[in-house]
Amino acid sequence: MIVKSGIRSIISIFLMWIISILFLLKYSEIYFNNSSIIIPLYTLIFTGLLYFFSRVKINTAYLRILSAMIIVSALLIILFTPRLGAIGRLPSIEEWLGMLFAGEFPYNSGLTPSSFPGLFLMALPLWLIGNAGLIEIAGLILFFYLVFSIKDNFSHLKIFLLVSTPVFYYGIAVRCELFFNMSLVIFTAWLVINHFGRKNKMTDFFILPLLVGLGLSTRSVVLIFYVIFMLWYFRDNLGNLVKFSIPMSLLFISLLLPLYFWDKESFMNNGPFAIQSRLSALPSFIVAFFLIASVYLGWIVRSFREVLFSSGVIIFLMVIISFILKIFDHGFAKAFYADLIDLSYLAFPLPLFILSIEFKKHGHFTGEILYD
């Protein structure tokens, strides 16, 4: 165990609060020119509601209805309201797919699409029906499925934490797919936990590895999660880890190779590895350090929630270090307010933190775990 469940949950909630404060600091200044009132007010309301929801119990049926209402509300916003802001995530998906079907090398887009091909292929059906922004709805569906599948007595608290953060509304307003990206990755791991080892080799060493390979084929940052998860899950049978990794890796490579051979020079200069490296601005030794830390954590974590928490912390730290380096290079005002820092990357650890939350309640004197 890395830290006790209660402490782990408090850290997760605190880091979520930090993420929310960063969003409020930037956008309250941009739109209202006043963060000195909004941030303390948000903190006060957040703390009060957090205390309330940590003390009450809500019937699961009501929570499912509430989740459905949130999904429908988000769907209506995406269908009937224009995309806000100049964030180019949705346009980059649309332009990548448009260039692909026009026979042009898609990574030569001026919008610097940074995702691996798997993400664009998953957005393809939605793009074909005219609204790739619906991928955010898919992310919400996956997230709520995980909330109710990873069972505990705190589903209502997790739903509150989601809707209490500005990141949730930001993602819907600008049609940012990063929340979907990480929810999908967690979902593929949850499928492995629930379906691997049921004496079906086709499922174990073909279907599930391909699903994980598709998750890996979204962005390089998800490798942090998969390293920790797979070392934790397969630690007792490294042979299965090798057999699982082969089709997973083959799918990842097979999605990249056609693009590499299409235009080698453009792939090396404008492809996903080059763009992700430029956007993160993280030196290689920092990336290597966090990868080594992920391997270590994969051996010491003891539960899926610890996998979620530890990978969330590492991804959070990588994003924050990237921000700090850009602030040193360009100054705080230019980096933070002139979009040299992309706060949307903080959507990556958000579902990891929320889903990692657990509190264990023990019976008096007996030590029996009543729920976790």
CA 27, distance to chain mean position in Å, is 21
Is 231's pLDDT higher than 90? Answer: yes
Dist. CA 241–CA 234, nearest whole Å: 6
Work out the burial of residue 191: count CB atoms within 10 Å of its CB; fewer than 13 is exposed, 13-18 middle, 19 or more buried. middle
Dist. CA 321–CA 323, nearest whole Å: 5
Question: pLDDT-derived band of residue 367, with 50, 70 and 90 as boundaries?
Answer: very low
Dist. CA 348–CA 330, nearest whole Å: 24
pLDDT tens by residue, 39-73: 999 999 999 999 998 888 899 999 999 999 999 99
What is the largest distance, in Å, between two alpha-carbon atoms of the chain?
70
Cα-based distances in Å from 342 to 42, 145, 279: 22, 28, 9
Is 366's pLDDT higher than 80? Answer: no
Is 24's pLDDT higher than 70? Answer: yes
Is 2's pLDDT higher than 80? Answer: no
Average model confidence (pLDDT) across the chain: 91
Structure tokens at 57: 């119990």
pLDDT tens by residue, 177-188: 999 999 999 999
User: What's the confidence (pLDDT) of residue 369?
Assistant: 35
Dist. CA 71–CA 123, nearest whole Å: 18
Is 361's pLDDT higher than 90? Answer: no
DSSP letters, 292-350, are HHHHHHHHH--SHHHHHHHHHHHHHHHHHHHHHHHHHHH-HHHHHHTTSS-GGGGGTHH
Q: What is the mean pLDDT of residues 266-281?
A: 89
Q: What is the mean pLDDT of residues 322-330?
A: 93
Cα-based distances in Å from 116 to 26, 215, 227, 229, 282: 29, 10, 18, 20, 18
CA trace torsion 105, 124, 227, 23 (10° rounding): 100
Is 111's pLDDT higher than 90? Answer: no
